[in-house]
Structure 1
């Protein structure tokens, strides 16, 4: 079995970090190394990781930044120290379904894509996802996957915030772009698909993203809008006119703007009709979606 490296950036979330790590240790795929990069945590994170290292010798690599350098730099540090054939990631407040890594490795071997990913679910209550997490899938079910082409990805981030790919590919592309204030994951997936071709996505929910609004997350901050602007500028050469119109509508949605109807009409996107509909709903009903 090929070794899979799982990187986890963390800062001052030791209780949530335990949940993330435990979900990796519970994987049905055995050949996994876990790399934790601690962003100068001031809680008991070092002790928590030390306890795992003692219980699972050779399984963990612990890296620590003396000052916070951002999750993007933390991910890249892990990638620099990883030893696996494949690499995937996990945020410290999210967790995996037990069959996620095995599913992605099998999809990667079968389809030889640029990367493999799964469907994912945002949640705010642990109980919302317990039934999904506890369900077990047959090999035939996990073999079902859909293609994610570069044009489809340029309309929206259908891959989520984590994928599995070859470690060598991440390194060849220079890792995550540390100059991006947000959307570093989306930017990385676009670069992988542009360089290496079509990706594949499992049809099953095998990744769970904690959307607790009481904690700071990039998707709930103004960094998200700034990141999207840089994303558009960086990848404009790959985008069609319709895709660029779609991303302008996405910015309206993120900024909670209610633009004039003429601007909505000018940016109407056929391939990105969902973002157009979200702008219209917010314009006329004041309901912000996404």
Structure 2
């Protein structure tokens, strides 16, 4: 098959219907949709029972993975038959021409990529506003000189990669319940594969719908700072060689490690993060950040 759109889902029946509808509209020829149900209370097969003769396969995990979508994404990637794997969150939508554009432009020039996003924001009164994301990246292959803060990506940003890249780089980390996307971005950018950025938004990201909607909120919104600090500590450890070689990646990871450690009240852990940075200029920047955050937290 040319491509597969993989949709992990957990307890978001309304969002899942919307995501699958958009995936069907965007699906290129000779392609498939793989829905991975992470032990939802209402099985995805029941939610999508109205589909007739559609190229949608549903895989169900009977035991919930405990947070984070990486186990479901890996399950989908391992069973998908496409040469290019697209990932779509179950509360978002993929735009009709996005997959086609990537297959015609990004692949096979690059081994992975992501896109700008269109945010659909619902306020407390139910009013919606729309905003397009902009990054300081040109459309096309991502240059080596691009800042890591610009070329890192969340899995929700129309993330895709080739089957070959997935097999070579390996599965997404399943022990990281949050920020596994950051870990995978580091691994991909450190690999032999080139990255691709689509400057025209390729997905709709729906925000603020978890509150009062009856649907599960995002993992990031449900994760406390202490857990996020622990995640960045693990990311720093498992990518230690890359962080030593690339100061930009080192600053990106350690600065977030420091921020979340201080937010959780663990100042000793934040100080240890500062000291772990081997690059002296990066350490100085982290010291300034540490001092500023300590000062601000004392005033609150």
TM-score, length of structure 2 as denominator length: 0.73
Question: RMSD of aligned C-alpha atoms?
Answer: 3.7
Aligned length in residues = 269
Shift of 1:114: 2.8
CA distance in 2, matches of 1:65, 1:44: 10
Partner of 1:41: 40
Partner of 1:23 in structure 2? 22
Distance 1:45 1:224, change over 3 A: same
The corresponding residue for 1:136 is none
Secondary structure at the residue paired with 1:238? helix
Among 152, 157, 165, which residue is 1:158 paired with?
A: 152
C-alpha distance in 2, partners of 1:151/1:122? 24
- How far residue 68 of structure 1 moved from its aligned partner, in angstroms, is 0.7
**1: CA distance between counterparts of 2:78 and 2:113?**
21
Q: For the Cα contact (< 8 Å) 1:118–1:205, is it kept in 2?
A: yes
Contact 1:13 1:45 (C-alpha < 8 Å) held by counterparts:
no
2:218 alignment partner in structure 1: 217
Shift in Å at residue 227 of structure 1?
A: 1.9
Q: What CA distance in whole angstroms lies between the structure 2 residues aligned with 1:104 and 1:269?
A: 40
Residues 28 and 178 (structure 1 numbering): CA distance in 2 closer, same or farther, change over 3 Å?
Answer: closer
Native 8 Å contact 2:19 2:88 kept in 1: yes
> Residue 245 of structure 1 contacts residue 269 of structure 1 at CA under 8 Å; is this kept in 2?
no
Deviations, residues 81-123 of structure 1 (Å, cap 9, x unaligned): 111110011111122122221222223236x123121112454
CA distances 1:178-217 after superposition (whole Å, capped 9, x unpaired): 1222222222232223222331201122223333263432
The aligned residue for residue 170 of structure 2 is 174
Equivalent residue number for residue 186 of structure 1: 182
Does structure 2 retain, via aligned residues, the 8 Å contact 1:250–1:275?
A: no
In structure 2, do the counterparts of structure 1 residues 4 and 184 end up closer, same or farther at CA, with 3 Å as the change threshold?
same
What is the distance in 2 between the residues matched to 1:252 and 1:76? 30
Equivalent position of 1:115 in the other structure: 112
Q: Distance in 2 between matches of 1:276 and 1:204?
A: 37
1:147 counterpart residue number: 142
CA shift in 2, pair 1:171/1:20, >3 Å: same
1:228 aligns with 2:218: no
TM-score, normalising length: structure 1: 0.76
Quote the Cα distance in structure 1 between the aligned partners of 2:218 and 2:280. 28
Given that residues 165 and 193 in structure 2 are in contact (C-alpha distance below 8 angstroms), is that contact kept between their aligned partners in structure 1?
no
Query: Relative to structure 1, is the Cα distance of residues 256 and 171 closer, same or farther in structure 2, using a 3 angstrom cutoff?
Result: same
Structure 2: gaps of 5 or more residues: 133-137
Measure the CA separation in 1 of the matches of 2:289 and 2:189.
Answer: 27
Distance 1:206 1:270 in 2: 37
Cα deviation 1:144-179 (Å, max 9, x = unaligned): 4351549733x5663331422211321233321212
